[in-house]
Amino acid sequence: MAGSGRRDLAIPLAARILDQIREGHLGAGTHLRSQDIATRFGVSRFPVGQALQLLADKGVLSHEHNRGYFVAQGTPPSGEALGLAEPDGVTKAYFRIADDHLRGRLSEHVTESDLRDSYGLTRAELNAVLTRISQEGWAERRAGYGWSFTPVLTTPESLEQTYRLRLALEPAALLEPGYHLAPESIAACRAAERRLLDGAIETDSADALHERGVRFHETIVAGSGNPFFLETIRRINRIRRLLSYRSMLDRKRYRRQCEEHLAILDSLAAGRQEEAAGRLRQHLGHTIENLSSIRPLLAP
C-alpha cells in the first residue's frame, strides 16, 4: 500500500513540475535535482524520481547517465495534452473538501468510505484527491485506519498573523550579506508576472495563482542564501494554502500585486537591496490592508 501511494503521488507531482517549466521558472537545460524538488514540495525523493522519469518518458526532460534529469523543452505541451491533468471531478471534489474542512463540516478523523459516499467519488478519484491533500500537508493517513486532518489556518485573524510574520522576515532576507538572485531566476519571475497581467489573472485556477505567488516569494527569499529564512517561509505557505484559495474569489487586487512584484524585481536586478526590501515591505503591508476588504470571504 505504501508503494502504491507513492506511485499515485508521482502524477500530480509531475504535473506541478511541468507547470513550473511552462511558466518559465525552469528553463531549458535546467538540472532538476531530486532533493531540491522533494524539499520544495514537501515529499520524499521516491515519488520525485518517479515524476522525473514520467516527464522524461513524455519528452519534457532528458536523462543523462550519472548526471540526472534536465529540462529538454522550454515550452512543453500542457498537462492535458500529456495526460497529466487531474480529471475535472477530482479538482471539484478537492475544493469541496477544502471548503468543508475550513467551515468545520468535517470531523477531525474520517474514513475513506465516508468520503467516497459524501462526495460521490470512485476509489481512484478519492485516492487522487487524498494524494494531493497529503502532499500539501493538511491531512495524513492514520496509523491503521482512516485519515486525520492536520491543523491549518481557518480564520482571517490567523491568516493576518502569517502575513505579519512574513512582513518581519522577508524584507530582512533581502538584506542578508551576500544576497544574490540569479538573472535567470529574475527573468522567470518577470515572465510569470507578465503572463498574469496579460490575462491569466482571470483564467488561472486558484491553485495556479497560489503557486505563482508562493514561487515568487520563495525565490526572492532563497537569494539570501540563508536556509532558515527559506524554510520558515515554506512552512508558512503550506499552512495558509486553504485560506489563500478562498481569498482568490476576489481577484481585483492581483493586478496591483503583479506590478509591485515587478518593481521589486527591478530593484533586485539593479542590485539595490535596500530599495527592494522597502518595496517588499510596502507590498506585504498592502496585502495586510487588503485582507480587511475580503474578510467576509475568509470567515468560516
DSSP per residue over 130-166, as a string? HHHHHHHTSEEE-SSSSEEEPP---SHHHHHHHHHHH
The answer to which of 37-46, 215-224, 256-265 has the lowest mean pLDDT is 37-46
pLDDT for position 275: 98
Percent of the chain whose predicted confidence (pLDDT) is above 90: 39
pLDDT for position 96: 87
Please provide the average confidence, as pLDDT, over all residues in the chain. 84
Q: What angle do the packed helices 206-222 and 156-173 form, to 10 degrees?
A: 30
Helix or strand run (H / E) with residue 57: helix 45-57
pLDDT digits (tens, 9 = 90+) for 70-127: 999 777 887 777 888 666 678 788 888 888 887 788 888 999 999 999 999 888 888 8
Edge-first strand listing for the sheet containing 31-32: 31-32, 68-71, 61-64
pLDDT for position 183: 92
pLDDT for position 1: 36
pLDDT digits (tens, 9 = 90+) for 130-183: 887 887 778 888 887 799 987 666 677 877 888 899 999 999 999 999 999 999
Could you tell me which residue, 185 or 158, shows the higher pLDDT? 185
Residue 140: φ, ψ to 5°: -145, 150
Average pLDDT of 28-45?
82
pLDDT for position 153: 64
